[in-house]
Amino acid sequence: MGLFDAWRYFESIDQIPIEDLVRGEVRCVLLDRDNTCVPRDAKVAPPEIARWLEDVRARGIKTCIVSNNFHSSQVERSARELGCEVVHHAMKPAPFAVRRALELERCDAAHAILVGDQVFTDVVAGNAAGVRTVLVRPQSRRDLWYTHIMRLGENLVLRGKTYEGIPRA
């Protein structure tokens, strides 16, 4: 598996089977915030994402948001609303914040996954930190201008990849 390859691909977070996490001995789910948990054009996560996170924690799996977003109050509010720990100002694709989140959750990389919507930030950071990565489709078409540019390159990397789960309309 290469630096740009995710371990698994899903339509959205709530399509990730929690039983697969349990069987895979996942003890911690690290999550990107923007367009992964919370759509870029919204301030709160959709109810199905919040429910999925509750179900994950009910199975004894820890959760932590690892976000590049520099608006600390927004990220912290989302983390509180979703019941997650948080590491912001992550500077992904550098793996340092991912490692910090693992320390915070007292989890080794072999028992963690990182879920995100971007190859060149989330997948690269997780792979560089030694955690399994899950790529989900962005929740919204709205994005930062430079993310739109990065998505052009992602389309080349993702050519031929298939996403599991129920396709969103």
Domains in the chain, CATH or no CATH each? 8-157 (3.40.50.1000)
Note whether 131 and 107 are within 8 A (CB).
no
In one letter, which amino acid is 31? L
CA torsion through residues 160, 37, 22, 132, sign: positive
In one letter, which amino acid is 41? D
Q: Which of 51-55, 127-131, 140-144 has the lowest mean pLDDT?
A: 140-144
Residue 146: pLDDT over 70: no
Nearest C-alpha neighbor of 113 from the set 104, 128, 126: 126
Summarize the confidence of residues 154-160 as an average pLDDT: 68
pLDDT digits (tens, 9 = 90+) for 48-90: 999 999 999 999 999 999 998 888 889 999 999 999 999 999 9
Q: Match 């179900």 to its residue by tokens.
A: 55
Strand order in the sheet with 62-66: 8-10, 132-136, 112-116, 28-31, 62-66, 85-87
Q: Highest mean pLDDT range out of 96-110, 132-146, 148-162?
A: 96-110
Residue 165: pLDDT over 90: no
Q: Which of 47-56, 78-87, 122-131, 141-150 has the lowest mean pLDDT?
A: 141-150
Contacting residues for 76 by C-beta, under 8 A, at least 6 apart: 86, 88
Q: How many Å separate Cα 160 from the centre of its chain?
A: 21
Note whether 69 and 102 are within 8 A (CB).
no
Residue 17: pLDDT over 80: yes
Nearest C-alpha neighbor of 89 from the set 106, 76, 102: 76
Q: Let me know if 34 is exposed, middle or buried by CB neighbors in 10 A (0-12, 13-18, 19+).
A: buried
Residue 136: pLDDT over 70: yes
Residue 3: pLDDT over 90: no
- How high is the pLDDT of residue 169? 47
Q: Match 């950071």 to its residue by tokens.
A: 125
> Cα(148)–Cα(30) distance, rounded to whole angstroms?
23
